């Protein structure tokens, strides 16, 4: 962009450094962003929810959904402020919130039943703001750090922990609702993230059974919650990354359509590759913009990200790039903010974030 040669591109702090605000970069970035988003926001009147509806699930699957319906969460939380300026494209009442202090915390989110909460889509109109911390201390933690997800509010409520399994041919992260129990067989196992051999494609599963152990009506088989594809460019992963995120669509009750592949050829990745997009939604990371002044790629994170990092990203639907489905970025050496919106749940967002830490991708 802007006549930058590949070698210059290679040297800059790439994707989206929301720099620790200096007067020049932060104000320029705000101005750029507001100039480009205001007209778009006033044109768009669609409800973001419609972007994710794909119809339905087969009737036999419906009765297996025991998750608390999102409606309960909505009624519980509808009085809360929507905390993130660009999280909901209706943009109601957000203009006055421009002068935010750095990294505003999340509103009060009630986590009644942790297992249900982390698999339940975020309520519509509420951004769930979280913090990911990476623990490299102790035996072999340098190679196999543990990652913890907490709500980014005063109570710092624990949500999930994740760790890469040793002795696994491909990258394989276990996700647990107990920070002290990261075993595959434990009752706190809630999901896993598995990569291909190249480390460029990832699939996120819940804690259901392997298809080999299916019951008669297939209702106990694990669901695929998401897939992530990283594309290389001419610079390998040294330039801005390109991510495609594939998630199940939502039905008319705003519940996730269950995707329970019977074999490897029926999963989200294969459906996406074969362009069979029934009940499947494709999302992408928002392309960062080259900033001549800072000689780097930038994205506006509205104060939630303070350190330049190739891992910083925002996930959007191509039909509405102003509705941020998820954003993730560095705030300290081993601390990151992770914010997600409807239709993602905590397990999906955390697993997508974990994929960005993977060794084959990490180039910092």
Per the structure, the complete domain to which residue 213 belongs is given by 113-357
Name the strand (E) or helix (H) holding 6: helix 6-11
39 inside domain? no
Mean pLDDT computed over 343-363: 84
363 inside domain? no
Residue 17 clears pLDDT 50, i.e. is over it:
no
Global pTM reads 0.74
Per-residue CA distances from 8 to 11, 317, 363 (Å): 5, 30, 17
Name the strand (E) or helix (H) holding 330: strand 320-332
Number of domains in the chain: 1
pLDDT tens profile 29-62: 333 333 333 333 334 446 777 889 876 544 443 3
105 inside domain? no
CATH number for the domain harbouring residue 318: 3.20.90.10
CB 339 within 8 A of CB 130: yes
CB 324 within 8 A of CB 340: no
Per-residue CA distances from 69 to 65, 75, 238, 286, 305 (Å): 9, 11, 42, 30, 32
70 inside domain? no
The larger pLDDT score, comparing residue 69 to residue 271, is at 271
167 inside domain? yes
Residue 81 clears pLDDT 70, i.e. is over it:
no
For residue 45, the model assigns a pLDDT of 46
pLDDT tens profile 313-330: 999 999 999 999 999 999
For residue 259, the model assigns a pLDDT of 94
78 inside domain? no
326 inside domain? yes
89 inside domain? no
**φ, ψ dihedrals at 214, nearest 5°:** -70, 145
Highest mean pLDDT among 77-81, 95-99, 287-291: 287-291
Q: DSSP letters of 343-357?
A: T--HHHHHHHHHHHT
CB-facing half-sphere around the CA of 337: CA atoms within 13 A? 25
Over the chain, what is the mean pLDDT? 74
């Amino acid at each position: 962009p802007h006549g930058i040669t590949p070698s210059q591109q290679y040297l800059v702090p790439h994707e989206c450094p929301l720099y620790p605000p200096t007067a020049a970069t932060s104000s320029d970035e705000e101005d750029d962003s507001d100039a480009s988003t205001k007209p778009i926001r006033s044109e768009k009147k669609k409800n973001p929810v419609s972007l994710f509806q794909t119809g339905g699930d087969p009737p036999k699957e419906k009765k297996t959904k025991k998750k608390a319906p999102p409606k309960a969460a909505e009624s519980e939380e509808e009085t809360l402020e929507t905390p993130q300026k660009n999280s909901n494209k209706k943009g109601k009442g957000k203009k006055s919130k421009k002068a935010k202090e750095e990294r505003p915390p999340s509103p009060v989110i009630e986590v009644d039943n942790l297992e249900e909460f982390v698999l339940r889509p975020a309520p519509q109109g509420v951004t769930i703001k979280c913090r990911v911390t990476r623990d490299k201390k102790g035996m072999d933690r340098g190679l196999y750090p543990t990652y913890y997800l907490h709500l980014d509010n005063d109570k710092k409520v624990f949500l999930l922990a994740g760790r890469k399994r040793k002795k696994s041919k491909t990258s394989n992260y276990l996700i647990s609702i107990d920070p002290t129990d990261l075993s595959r067989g434990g009752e706190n196992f809630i999901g896993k993230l598995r990569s291909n051999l190249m480390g460029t494609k990832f699939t996120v599963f819940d804690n259901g059974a392997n298809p080999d152990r299916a019951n008669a009506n297939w209702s106990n088989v694990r669901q695929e919650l998401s897939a992530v594809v990283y594309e290389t460019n001419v610079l390998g992963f040294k330039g801005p990354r390109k991510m495609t995120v594939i998630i199940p669509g939502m039905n008319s009750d705003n519940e996730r359509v269950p995707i329970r592949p019977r074999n490897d050829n029926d999963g989200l990745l294969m459906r996406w590759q074969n362009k069979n997009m029934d009940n499947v939604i494709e999302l992408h990371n928002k392309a960062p913009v080259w900033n001549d002044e800072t000689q780097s790629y930038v994205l506006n994170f509205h104060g939630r990200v303070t350190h330049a990092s190739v891992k910083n990203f925002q996930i959007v639907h191509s039909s509405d790039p102003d509705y941020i489905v998820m954003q993730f970025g560095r705030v300290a050496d081993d601390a990151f903010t992770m914010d997600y919106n409807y239709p993602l749940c905590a397990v999906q967002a955390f697993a997508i974030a974990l994929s960005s830490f993977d060794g084959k991708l990490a180039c910092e």
